Amino acid sequence: MQTRRQFIQIVPVAGATLMAGREALANAKLDENDAQAKALGYAHDATKVDAKKQPKWAKGQICSGCQLYQGKAADAWGGCPLFGGKQVAGKGWCNAWVKKA
């Protein structure tokens, strides 16, 4: 049987573990083969986007220049809310690209 003292010691540890888990998920890099990534035509390298399959793509469009990119312009990777905050490549692209205001 757990004592009140043990419970008080366990709760913060469990909370910290949960927070670390969430952070790890947010820091995870998006897999190009992820179903949603495929649905949105995401590529880690925008220059490899097939313009025939992705007619919205235009030269110069990259994640770091997208309104939804959560990294800084010079960051190699940054979060994207379309993919649950997973990291997308600054030089990547998907067909939801919107020019940064």
Q: Which residues of this chain interact with ligand SF4, rule CB under 6 A?
A: 42, 63, 66, 68-69, 80, 82, 88, 92-94, 96-97
Query: Min. distance of Cβ 8 from ligand SF4 in angstroms?
Result: 42
The secondary structure of 61-94 as a DSSP string is --GGGBTT--S-TT-SEEE-GGGTT-EEETT-B-
Query: Min. distance of Cβ 68 from ligand SF4 in angstroms?
Result: 4
DSSP β-bridge partners for residue 43: 93
Query: How far is residue 65's CA from residue 91's CA, in Å, rounded to a whole number?
Result: 9
Closer residue to ligand SF4, CB minimum distance, 19 or 50: 50
Query: Min. distance of Cβ 101 from ligand SF4 in angstroms?
Result: 13
Closer residue to ligand SF4, CB minimum distance, 31 or 96: 96
